[in-house]
Amino acid sequence: MSPFDTDIIRAKIAIIQDNLKALEPIKEMSRDEYLRDLYKRKATERLLQELIEAAIDINTQMVVGSEYAPPDDYYQSFIRAGELGFLSPSLAEKLAPSAGLRTRLVHENDRIDHSIILKAVSMAEEYYPRYVEEISAALSRKD
């Protein structure tokens, strides 16, 4: 048995997978269609936020559960997961900036740039399936 709760991690993986599936229609929308639909914009922002938060939770659970100090921040949770072999370092570096997007979505520090959100959907579709694969493989190694 691994020192971290694999049931919690698997539940978070399911959130990521569900949110990726829910985001699929968004990547097919034109920018104008996206801008005209307030509900799709808000849903997209929330789906991205939940997806990123689930990954941060997984990273932190695995790092701390492996008896290392908690990451200093959300960005570092990806970097530490890469350093400890839960993720490839290259994927960790590609995903770490999504922590900043999560912060902007939660706190709305400034107006949300819809172009950034649409790019984030493409990024999520490209990199988060790999994240799920690598985390699942790391869990298999720990069981």
Q: Which of 80, 102, 104, 141 is catalytic?
A: 102
Report the C-alpha dihedral over residues 8, 64, 88, 92, rounded to 10 degrees: 90
pLDDT by residue (tens digit) across 76-113?
999 999 999 999 999 999 999 999 888 888 887 557 88
pLDDT confidence of residue 41: 93
Q: Which of 107, 111, 114, 141 is catalytic?
A: 107
- Of 16, 48, 26, 28, nearest to 130 (Cα)? 16
Which DSSP category does 37 fall into? Answer: -
Contact 96, 80 (CB under 8 A): no
The verdict on whether 102 is a catalytic residue reads yes
Neighbouring C-beta atoms of residue 104, cutoff 10 Å: 17
Instruction: Specify whether 114 is catalytic.
Output: no
User: What whole-number distance in Å separates Cα of residue 62 and Cα of residue 47?
Assistant: 23
* pLDDT value, residue 1: 35
For residue range 9-52, what is the model confidence (pLDDT) as tens digits? 999 999 999 999 999 999 889 999 999 999 999 999 999 999 99
* pTM listed for this prediction: 0.92
Whether the pLDDT of residue 55 is over 90: the answer is yes
Question: Domain spanning 6-142: which CATH class is it, in words?
Answer: mainly alpha
Neighbour count for residue 124 (Cβ, 10 Å): 26
